[in-house]
Structures are given as C-alpha cells and as structure tokens.
Amino acid sequence: MNNGQLLLAINVGSSSLKINVWEVDGSQALVMLEARGIGAEHGTIAENNQVVARHAVADHEMALNELLQRVPDADRIACIGHRVVHGGSRYRSSVWLDDAVVEDLQSLVSLSPLHQPPALAVIRACRRRFPGVAQAAVFDTAFHATLPARAATYAITVAWRDAGVRRYGFHGIACADVVMQLGQELRERAIILHLGAGCSATAVLRGKSIDTTMGFTPLEGLVMATRGGDIDPGAVLYVQRELGLSPQEMERVLNQESGLLALSGASADMRDLLQSRDEQAVLAVEIFCYRAAKAVGALAVALGGLEQIIFSGGIGEHSAVVRARIGALLQGMALAIDDGANAAHAPIISSSSSAVELRVIAVDEGRQIALETIAMMADG
C-alpha cells in the first residue's frame, strides 16, 4: 500500500460506535471518533475524547454517517477493519468481507444479539458507501481459538456439540492488545481480568488463551452491567415455563435486564453503585468482586500456578476500589496490593511482597483492529 492511505478501525458496541482513523504506515491513530448513547434519548459525539456534539442518535447507521463526516480526507481510505464479536466455529482468524461472509455472519446473530446486528448494519453501510475498499472482519473470538478441548467442550450430547455448541470466548481483541502491549513483560502464567460493561477473565499461558469465563455466547461467566453471567440453565427453563416467557423475552432479560442493574435495582454503572449506601447496591458490588476473584482462583488451577493479573476494561482500569476488593479476596494466594500505587492507577499496583504481579492496562481495541487489518493487507 502507498504512503498516505488511510485505514478505518471500526468498533461497534450495543449502543456505541468508535472509529479510529490511521495512516496505514503510521504508529498511532490520527483521529479517534465516537458516538455514545445510540438509540437513547440523549447521545454524544466525541472527537479525540472531547465531546463535540450532544443530540439523539437514532441508530448505528446514523452514527456512522455522522462520524464519517469528521474523517479527514475520506477519499484516501484504502481499507476498513471491523470488530465482529462472534465468529462461530468457522472463523478462527480475521477474514476479508464479501457477500458470502456477511451472510455467514448474519446466521450468527442469535449467538450475540446485542452486538452482531449493529455490527452487520455498519458493515453493510460501509460496503455500500465504499464499494471499492477492502474491508475485514476482526473477531473477538479469534484469540481463543487456542482453547484446548478440555476447556472448550461442554458436557452435552454429541448432537449439540456437532451443532457447534462449545465455549468460544470473547474480549479476544482486548486480550490480544494486552499481550501485544506487555511483550516480554507478560509472565508465563497470567490472567487478564477485563472488567467493563462486559466482563471476562482469561487464562493466558505463554501468550496463548487456554481458558476463559465467557462461553458459547457473551452471557456466560462473570457478573456484568446488564448480564448476570453464570446461572443454572435449569433456572432459565423454570422461569420460562412458569412465567410463560417467549425466547425473545428471555433473551432481553438475560442480556439487558440482569447483572448489576438487576442486583441494584437502580443502575448498571459501577461508579453509581460505589457511591451508593443502598443495601442492594452494596450487595451488587460485593457479588461482582466475589465472582471475579473466584474466577481468578479457578483459572490459576487451569494455568498450574499464577504469576500475573492484568486489570483492563473501564472498571478494571479506573476503579481502584474494585481492584482493591478483588485483591483482598485473593490474599490467600499470597497476593498483595500497594494501596498508594493502586489509588494512583499506576501501571504496576502489586506490593514488593506480592507473589503475583498486578498490572493495570488501558486497552486499545481500535489499535489491534488496525494492526490486524494492516497485516492482512501486507499478506495480500
């Protein structure tokens, strides 16, 4: 590719859209654009982390159109990389998008109903708008393609397994960015504790994922903002039968009305809950931290030991209180937090006496999307 050409790294969330604009031969994003609150009464448009407009944004395609107006020299766009949450069993690495791939990804909507539909809407809009531009799908599941059978396989009937029901894992783009950032400083046995609106813990052995808390869909695992994580499937069947809920209603409740929101009865935002004295809010935070610490213990077994924990995601990066509470629950693993370093959000927050190094990392999924897309272009 020639110098001066641009790449768009597009990251679609359930109610957000981020576009990082890169020069293909550059080392950092030229412009970072973001729309938040998509579909809500109030939304924001930000450029380089500064809010530049406040108004309602009806849907992701409208958000895309508004953000693209702020892309400098749009005629220089040479390639586009899209984050896609679920790649199913077929897509174990990034792939160029064509009609057949888009149709395949449409068939996976039911596996990620919060993220896959808006991502596909943006992909289709970009393909219409830039018909001659190469576009790639970068999958959140790809980092976990290295899961061994003992971690990926559910104890279910062969017919279900043959239908593709297995643990796929998510937050893979974020995990890949953590591994890339740490480089030689990544310990042999590490756990990435990615805590945000979505939450997961991933066991990384010598740079490869060997187990993770999210499963067939992003519903499994830790307590999240509006997702409850692990739940007895018998309880789901019981509620559906007793209350007469449709599959669509069950899907809505499990994806959008559970987790911290359901526990607190008031907010899915950890910042609100930490400031509240309400008993339900206090319990919500306690459960959140307990489940995260419990997962670390389990994944330490998968790793055969533990040398490093990396906190990432909005909560993991910014909440010293949550990190401290999780650390306190893990003291039995000879782990100790330096309170001063933790309060200052230092890169390393473990004390000198800790047997496990504790780190805090700001993940940049846009960078990882860009790097993977650039690598694909270089490979032809």
Query: 133-188, pLDDT tens digit by residue?
Result: 999 999 999 999 999 999 999 999 999 999 999 999 999 999 999 999 999 999 99
Query: Could you tell me the CA-to-CA distances from 105 to 99, 121, 371 in Å, in that order?
Result: 10, 11, 22
User: What is the reported pLDDT for 111?
Assistant: 84
Which residue out of 59, 73, 75, 140 is catalytically annotated? 140
Rounded CA-CA distance 190/202 in Å is 8
**339 labelled catalytic:** no
Tokens at 327, concatenated: 């650390």
Q: How far apart are CA 46 and CA 214, in angstroms?
A: 30
For the chain, what is the radius of gyration of the CA atoms?
Answer: 21
Write down the residue that tokens 């939304």 correspond to. Answer: 43
Which element (helix H / strand E) includes 205?
Answer: strand 199-205
Query: Are 6-139 and 172-360 the same fold in CATH?
Result: yes
pLDDT mean by block of 10 residues, the chain; 380 residues:
78 91 86 92 92 93 95 91 92 94 92 88 96 95 96 98 94 97 98 96 98 95 96 96 94 94 96 97 98 98 98 97 98 95 98 97 94 87
Rounded to whole angstroms, the Cα distance separating 70 from 66 reads: 7
Q: Give the residue extent of every domain in the chain.
A: 6-139, 172-360
Output the pLDDT for position 46.
95
Residue listed under structure tokens 């999210």: 214
Comparing CA positions, the residue from 11, 217, 9 lying closest to residue 109 is 217
Level-2 CATH architecture, domain 6-139: 2-Layer Sandwich (3.30)
**What pLDDT, on the 0 to 100 scale, is given for residue 2?**
45
Nearest to 308, CA basis, from 365, 368, 348: 348
pLDDT value at position 3? 54
Cα end-to-end distance, the chain, whole Å:
10
Cα–Cα separations (whole angstroms), residue 233 to 68, 236, 295, 297, 319: 43, 5, 19, 23, 32
Q: Starting at the edge strand that comes first in sequence, how are the strands of the sheet with 208-212 ordered? A: 208-212, 199-205, 189-195, 308-312, 357-360
Long-range pairs for 335-340: beta carbons < 8 A, 24 or more residues apart:
335/309
Q: Are strands 77-84 and 208-212 parallel, antiparallel or unpaired?
A: unpaired
Q: Note the pTM of the prediction, 2 decimals.
A: 0.93
Q: State the amino acid at position 132 in one-letter form.
A: G
Question: What DSSP character marks residue 190?
Answer: E
Q: Is 172-360 a domain of CATH 3.40.50.720?
A: no
DSSP conformation class of 184: G
Model pLDDT, residue 74:
85
Contact 342, 336 (CB under 8 A): no
Per-residue tokens: 63: 């958000």
Q: Print burial letters for 234-267: b (CB count within 10 Å at least 16), e (below 16).
A: eeeeeeeeeeeeeeeeebebbbbebbbbbbbeeb
The CA–CA distances, whole Å, from 366 to 8, 19, 120, 177 equal 9, 8, 17, 9
Q: Which residues of 356-375 are buried (b: 16+ CB within 10 A; e: fewer)?
A: bbbbbbebbbbbbbbbbbbe
